[in-house]
Structure 1
Amino acid sequence: MVDADQTFVIVGGGLAGAKAAETLRAEGFTGRVILISDEREHPYERPPLSKGFLLGKEERDSVFVHEPAWYAQHDIELHLGLPAVAVDRADKAVRLGDGTRVRYDKLLLATGSEPRRLDIPGTDLAGVHHLRRIAHAERLKGVLAALGRDNGHLVIAGAGWIGLEVAAAAREYGAEVTVVEPEATPLYSVLGPEIGRLFADLHQEHGVRFDFGVRLSEITGQDGMVLAARTDDGDEHPAHDVLAAIGAAPRTALAEAAGLTMADRAHGGGIAVDASLRTSDPDIFAAGDAASADHPLFETRLRVEHWANALNGGPAAARAMLGRPVTYDRVPYFFSDQYDVGLEFSGWAPPGSYDQVVIRGDATKREFIAFWLSEGRVLAGMNVNVWDVTEPIQALIKAGARPDPDRLADPSVPLESLLEG
């Protein structure tokens, strides 16, 4: 029974943590809600950092989940700029960096992820960047503007979503861009080679250069500044700045030190949680980038790093903390904007999981929907410059639909009708 004497603690000042706090109050919880973040900023959303905010099209205040006054108005206690350094499960307490101990009845770990680091010489140079926090985005925005003014060169390590979105932003500023990617196409681990090639074409049309099948091996510089980036095949690319966009690692140190069960690294690592987002400790939950959940739909453990997972996972964990029945089976979803191309992706279909890609529409005009199928079953769908179709795409995935591929590819056939077979 949840009552006013209880204290619920949330570690993590991102979207998942903020939405969990909001949900606790919306669901009628009257006890203490304490949110702890190692950032001094109020909780904010991260997608704008590589999109509108980076391009200067969105104001800084637009990234915050709530206005600062909202937390006091809803009696949410904030500990900002103060990391949680340990969880004492026996005493049910979180120890903060200044030695303060915060007791909890239920604890939510929404610790997020952090950029993976390049393990090569030269990463200590001033022009080497990562993009995860608002301070990173503010710095990078100034860098891109300067590169654009001076015809400067940006080398990006990694052709994932962050790498490509920053490449698009850099080109809009007028910077020269080279992307170094070990796979044969961009976005290989998410979209596979078939659709990844389309994004290579998109960026090359906008002047981005790619170097596929290689990795950065060294960043060279002079007087602390970047001069060039070398690859493991011996090539050298001129560079004034380098962005490491080689993925994100879940922030699990707190959970590991507390002895919570971790997910297998082969499945993305993260804090292992069940379908109700509960960890191996019945009083501790995890959500967002750091959590690896048993997914009933895909019958595997998934760690999803996207905005929608934080948006929906935080509230789901909050309800589970309140003792409500929760089965977190949301279809993974994310969106991206690059140049004049907008897209939404739903599902989960890494290379090796599918045997067919069906295109509905005109891929050459970049107005299409792609579907990834395994033995006829729809695993994922991505709409590119085609809108208001996410709901039927996700319905096909949830239903395990096996539509006729010819009808699936035919834009004149309503997607809703394909649920019938």
Structure 2
Amino acid sequence: MADASETFVIIGGGLAGAKAAETLRGEGFTGRVVLIGDEREHPYERPPLSKGYLTGKDERGSAFLHEPDFYARAGIELHLGVPATAIDRERKTVRTADGTSFRYDKLLLATGAEPRPLDIPGTGLAGVHQLRRLPDADRLRGTLASLGRDNGHLVIAGAGWIGLEVAAAARGYGAEVTVVEPEPTPLHRVIGPELGQFFRELHAERGVRFRFGTRLTEITGQDGTVLAARTDDGDEHPAHAVLAAVGAAPRTALAEAAGLEIAGPAEGRGIAVDTSLRTSDPDIHAAGDVASAQHPLLGTRLRVEHWANALNGGPAAARAMLGQDVSYDRVPYFYSDQYDLGMEYSGWAPPGSYDQVVLRGDAGRRQFLAFWLKERRVLAGMNANVWDVTDDVQKLIRSGAPVDPEALADPSTPLTAVLPHP
């Protein structure tokens, strides 16, 4: 167990880092806690940036995790607006851009991810957006309101979760929306074509235009302002604003420079951690978007970029730093709000991993559950406008037991009765 003379340093002022700091105090740690963040804002959650705050339903303050005085009351030292620049593992120090050096006994890396840029001409024009940080949402919210007033056009590069949520928000303001996506359906690499088609229809019914199988090649403008976006099929689309929503890359530069192990697929390699979120250095942990974790339940290395992973991973890492026995085996979970659709997804079932999709309910009425199965075992489940079923869905996933697909599809059969009883 840690003692009062120790210093724990957290790099990353987002949800994972802030929840880790909060947990250290909640678990009784009385030593020094230092939280370093490169943003000037106090720690905040990211879902409101593409949901309630962006749509205008919620105030800006709804995104913040705590009241500003929470950190001083908890004895958490905030060092905001000055990024960490180097880790010296031999001396056990962290250096920041202003030349300050912090010695640590334990270190947590919660550096998150950053949007992948569009590597095409025209991205420097006014009206080209990305959405990762609160100031991005401030700017984009104003743009969407302006587009709605002026019947303007928004082109979105990417039909992932951010792209679709922004498309829904833009239509809510009255803007015209075109989504450009190289895959054949939205969310193709996340939920596959079967449910990807559902989201395509959801947005098409609200007037969103899709261009599948294409990529943006150039953004054109005049006097620094966006006028159009060109795609590799030769088309030109009117645009008064463009959103780059082509994914995020984990921020591993600090870890790599410090010689920590990096693992995972090439397009999203993260800091390698074990089931207790410990890196290749026993005094350094990693959590949130940047961590590529060995998942004890799924039996694979996984990097999860969703809110719940930061919410739960930060506290798990904090407990492990305190010497507690931790096995981080949370079922991956995320949620999305688009128009009048609210959905939750649990599990992990990328295309190619499953052999059957089972629907329960009425997809036409936007009220159903979907399950991804492999050899009759539930890999993942999604509930759309059906509530209070996440625990049961996750129990199906955790069981690893074969189920009866017909019972799974039957709304009259409780989910709790689908699993075979011993």
Task: Give me the TM-score of the superposition, normalised by structure 1.
Answer: 0.99
Q: Are 2:283 and 1:283 equivalent residues in the alignment?
A: yes
For residues 241 and 328 of structure 1, the distance between their equivalents in structure 2, rounded to whole angstroms, comes to: 41
Q: Are 2:213 and 1:227 equivalent residues in the alignment?
A: no
For residues 83 and 205 of structure 1, the distance between their equivalents in structure 2, rounded to whole angstroms, comes to: 44
1:30-79 deviations in Å (ceiling 9; x for gaps):
00000000000000000000000001111111111111100000000000
Partner of residue 183, structure 1: 183
Partner of residue 43, structure 1: 43
Partner of residue 416, structure 2: 416
For residues 402 and 342 of structure 2, the distance between their equivalents in structure 1, rounded to whole angstroms, comes to: 27
1:247-272 deviations in Å (ceiling 9; x for gaps):
01101111010000001334731100
Equivalence map 1:58-207=2 (5 Å):
58-207=58-207
Partner of residue 52, structure 2: 52
Query: 1:401 is aligned with what amino acid?
Result: A
For residues 266 and 239 of structure 1, the distance between their equivalents in structure 2, rounded to whole angstroms, comes to: 32
Corresponding residue SS for 1:139: helix
Corresponding residue SS for 2:285: strand
Query: 1:396 is aligned with what amino acid?
Result: L
Corresponding residue SS for 1:43: coil
Partner of residue 367, structure 2: 367
Partner of residue 212, structure 2: 212
Partner of residue 296, structure 1: 296
Counterpart contact for 2:17–2:314, Cα < 8 Å? yes
1:174-203 deviations in Å (ceiling 9; x for gaps):
000000000000010111000000100000
Partner of residue 316, structure 2: 316
* Superposed displacement of residue 82, structure 1: 0.5
Counterpart contact for 1:267–1:301, Cα < 8 Å? no
* Superposed displacement of residue 401, structure 1: 2.5
For residues 302 and 351 of structure 2, the distance between their equivalents in structure 1, rounded to whole angstroms, comes to: 15
Q: Which runs of 5+ in 2 are unaligned?
A: none
For residues 88 and 100 of structure 2, the distance between their equivalents in structure 1, rounded to whole angstroms, comes to: 12
Change (3 A) 1:21 1:32: same
* Superposed displacement of residue 402, structure 1: 1.4
Equivalence map 1:247-266=2 (5 Å):
247-266=247-266
Counterpart contact for 1:359–1:409, Cα < 8 Å? yes
Aligned residues: 421
Counterpart contact for 2:215–2:231, Cα < 8 Å? yes
* Superposed displacement of residue 105, structure 1: 0.2
Corresponding residue SS for 2:52: coil
1:195-247 deviations in Å (ceiling 9; x for gaps):
00010000000000000000001111111111100001101100000000000
Corresponding residue SS for 1:102: strand
Counterpart contact for 2:152–2:176, Cα < 8 Å? yes
For residues 294 and 302 of structure 1, the distance between their equivalents in structure 2, rounded to whole angstroms, comes to: 6
Query: 2:332 is aligned with what amino acid?
Result: P
* Superposed displacement of residue 419, structure 1: 2.1
For residues 218 and 401 of structure 2, the distance between their equivalents in structure 1, rounded to whole angstroms, comes to: 48
1:90-132 deviations in Å (ceiling 9; x for gaps):
0000000011100000000000000000001111111110000
Query: 2:256 is aligned with what amino acid?
Result: E
Counterpart contact for 2:8–2:32, Cα < 8 Å? yes
* Superposed displacement of residue 139, structure 1: 0.2
Counterpart contact for 1:129–1:140, Cα < 8 Å? yes
* Superposed displacement of residue 420, structure 1: 2.0
Q: Are 2:419 and 1:405 equivalent residues in the alignment?
A: no
* Superposed displacement of residue 297, structure 1: 1.3
User: 4+ residue stretches of structure 1 with deviation over 2 A?
Assistant: 264-268
Task: Give me the TM-score of the superposition, normalised by structure 2.
Answer: 0.99
Partner of residue 23, structure 1: 23
RMSD (Å), alpha carbons:
0.8
Counterpart contact for 1:159–1:180, Cα < 8 Å? yes
